[in-house]
Amino acid sequence: MSDALIKYSLQDEVATIHLNDGKANALSYDMIAALRSAIERAESEARVAVIMGMPGKFCAGFDLKVMQQSMSAAVDLLKAGGALYIQMLRCSIPLLSACTGHAVAGGALLLAYSDYSIGVEGPFKLGLNEVHIGLPLPLLAIEITRHKLDPRRLNEATALGRLYSPDEAQKVGYLNETTSPEVFEEIVQKRAQAMTQMSPVAFRETKKRLWGELATQIEKTLESDLGAIDEMH
């Protein structure tokens, strides 16, 4: 795990995975690897894991320096991201995302793939804007949003690439709740502590029944779907 990208702490059975690259918390290869390692560590020693960003910036999505090199380079990075999202669906402990600000593209997917997401109120944008930068949404994004977002808002959130304020994002389904900056961290910790009281076995087995089939479906189609996107260009 790279200490330059992620700060990991454990207290009262809650692991906090603090994304902080000093910039926009872009999902680079190194950030993805660090996050995957942190989630694996949390599974081994915690009852709940909280993924938290920097003030004003949760995650800006996949690293644009890589995404803009070529479609093949973008697809390769998306494959690494897909492995992270599948890991999140299969994570045996609750994953709570504390959305501290902007959460765009791959950052919005971190919210969607979490078990619970809390957003801080403010002038922030959340959502999937890939179509505006010329990238068709891969199935790894389509399938999770089909399950998590309000069906009436699915087309605007995906095909139209609409970005939302935190309050709007809650109504659409990216967030479970929003709260003011003054009590944000308090509420995050309160929700996380409540989750530590659940039966680990009951949670794990219920989540497996709820999301196991989707995780397998995404895993099986990841290579071919992203390969098809690559061939479009």
- Please give the share of the chain, as a percent, with pLDDT higher than 70: 98
Predicted confidence (pLDDT) at residue 133 exceeds the cutoff of 70 = yes
pLDDT digits (tens, 9 = 90+) for 72-99: 898 999 999 999 999 999 999 999 999 9
The mean per-residue pLDDT over the stretch 175-187 comes to 98
In angstroms, the CA 206 to CA 168 distance is 29
Predicted confidence (pLDDT) at residue 233 exceeds the cutoff of 80 = no
The burial of 213, by beta-carbon neighbours within 10 Å (0-12 exposed, 13-18 middle, 19 or more buried), is given as exposed
- Domain positions in the chain are 6-196
Phi-psi region of 23 (alpha: psi -120 to 50; beta: other; left: phi over 0): alpha
In angstroms, the CA 34 to CA 32 distance is 5
CATH of domain 6-196: 3.90.226.10
Q: pLDDT value at position 162?
A: 97
Q: pLDDT value at position 3?
A: 67
Predicted confidence (pLDDT) at residue 67 exceeds the cutoff of 70 = yes
Ordered DSSP codes for 148-203: HS-GGGHHHHHTS--EE-HHHHHHHTS-SEEE-TTTHHHHHHHHHHHHHTS-HHHH
DSSP H or E stretch at residue 52: strand 48-52
pLDDT-based confidence at residue 2 (cuts at 50, 70, 90)? low
pLDDT digits (tens, 9 = 90+) for 42-51: 999 999 999 9
